[in-house]
Chain A
Amino acid sequence: MKNHVYRPLFLVIAFVVAVLIAREIVVPEDFGTHEAGYMYGWHRKGNEQEWKDFKVKYQGKDYCKLCHQDKVDKISQTPHVIINCENCHGPAVKMARVDGKIHWKNPTYTKHGEDTFENHIDRTREQCLRCHAKLPYKGSGREWVRGINNTEHNPDMECVMCHNPHSPGFG
């Protein structure tokens, strides 16, 4: 056959070989179909472990109990027992000492990668109003939480001036 037929053919073969070699280098060894099968299973197996190793932030009440037994006991006598401490105090990521006080390192992610040290006590009215703002929503869960009218119930004052969040009633 003529040379001009072979030349493009060699080019095509060289291209295919180059792609196959590149694929061999770029695609990780653990890339495959795995358990979920051909339709939904294509992935890099190592990624599963990467997600499992993702940092856990919220620790739960049992963790706070280790050092704040008194607070846990107190809140347990009140309807607020159902609220996780970290909802009002932020996730307990890591304890750290700042200005001689123990705080935990609490990432707020407003600027990514920059963890901020904060005093994590949410004293705002907004925090309490999440559950206690009176809404006329019959049928929703809000129905059975006693609500207050934000503009009438002692406005311009923090709720915690009068109510202890760990023991909110006066009884």
Chain B
Amino acid sequence: MISRRGFLKYGASALATSGLITTTSGKIFAAAGSGSKDTRWAFLIDTHKCTGCGLCVKACKLENEVPMEANATRTWVERYVIKHDGEVVADSPHAGIDGYTRNDPQGREIPESDIAKSYFVPKLCNQCEKPACVQVCPVGATYQTADGVVLVDRTWCIGCGYCIMACPYGARFFHPVFRVAEKCNWCYHRITKGMDTACVEACSFGARMVGNIMDPNDPLTKIIKTERVSLLKEEYGTSPMAYYIGLDTLVR
């Protein structure tokens, strides 16, 4: 039997820690830079820096052989325009591949005087620590690697589409040529060679960054450890690994 004093003591410490270190994201934060694991890839997006030029989306398609004309892409850029009256006008025409060159969110011209704030949000696969998409795969065609990236085995995928439905971020799609599930893999062929991803390489403004969160000297680790970062849809419990700076609550 646990004593009343013990109950209070353990209960209080459990409550105090449950906020951070019992979540997977919290555990990764605690391990970040410790070198307890060789490699765990992570991503960092600074929405303040994004200009909505769309060159990242274009580079991604060319690098990863996703047909240009197909309305499907591994990464995309969203535009958010928030009016003074509280209305949110958000869109991402053709994933933003041609850049945002006109003030026409959802085909509407919004007068400058009506705009309270506006920003662009680049998105891509979060390479979750607990990937819902992997859990639902009935054949073991999609999996997590030791360094945390979720890959799809094109020869093994049966194209059932469960994973596409399971992803809370809408990061997966059906590859129009290979007819299997397709997703961003943070350019696994590049990062494993020590290169940046194609989208990071294409970004002129440093809005995107990829790195090894276990390496204490990685610039990405330093930012995540010292600055205020947030994650998308943490409440789904998938422990996403793409961190954001300047993420508005309106971003979904």
Contact = CB atoms under 8 A, between A and B. Distances in A.
Physical interaction between A and B:
yes
Interface of A: 31, 34-36, 39-44, 47-48, 50-58, 60, 82-84, 86-87, 90-91, 107-110, 112, 126, 129-131, 133, 135-142, 145, 150
A150 B143 CA distance: 47
Given A36-B144, A87-B204, A136-B103, 17 more contacts: A41-B144, A42-B140, A42-B143, A43-B153, A43-B156, A47-B155, A54-B64, A56-B190, A56-B193, A58-B202, A82-B204, A87-B59, A112-B67, A130-B53, A130-B54, A141-B50, A142-B120
Contact of B204 (A48, A56, A84): A84
Contact of B68 (A36, A51, A109, A142): A109
B120 A140 contact: yes
A139 to B, nearest CB: 5
Contacts of A52: 188-189, 192-193
Chain B interface secondary structure, helix, strand, loop or mixed? loop
Contact of B151 (A42, A51, A126): A51
Nearest to B146: A35
B100 to A, nearest CB: 7
A56 B189 contact: yes
A107 B102 CA distance: 29
A54 B202 contact: no
A91 to B, nearest CB: 5
Contact of B201 (A58, A107, A109, A136): A58
Majority-rule SS of A interface residues: loop
A107 B198 CA distance: 15
21 contacts: A31-B140, A35-B145, A36-B146, A43-B140, A44-B140, A44-B153, A50-B153, A51-B151, A55-B189, A60-B201, A82-B205, A84-B201, A91-B59, A108-B68, A110-B68, A112-B65, A129-B99, A130-B53, A137-B81, A137-B119, A141-B49
B141 A43 contact: yes
Contacts of A126: 98-99, 101
The CB with the most chain A CB atoms within 10 A, among B52, B155, B185, B207, is that of B52
A166 to B, nearest CB: 14
A83 B64 CA distance: 20
Given A140-B52, A141-B120, A91 B146 contact: no
Nearest to A136: B112
B233 interface: no
B119 A131 contact: no
A41 B202 CA distance: 32
Given A31-B140, A35-B145, A57-B62, A139 B119 contact: yes
Interface string B75-89: 000000100000000
B101 A141 contact: no
Given A108-B68, A145-B51, A129 B101 contact: yes
Contacts of B205: 82, 141
Contacts of A87: 55, 58-59, 202, 204
Given A82-B204, A90-B62, A48 B81 contact: no
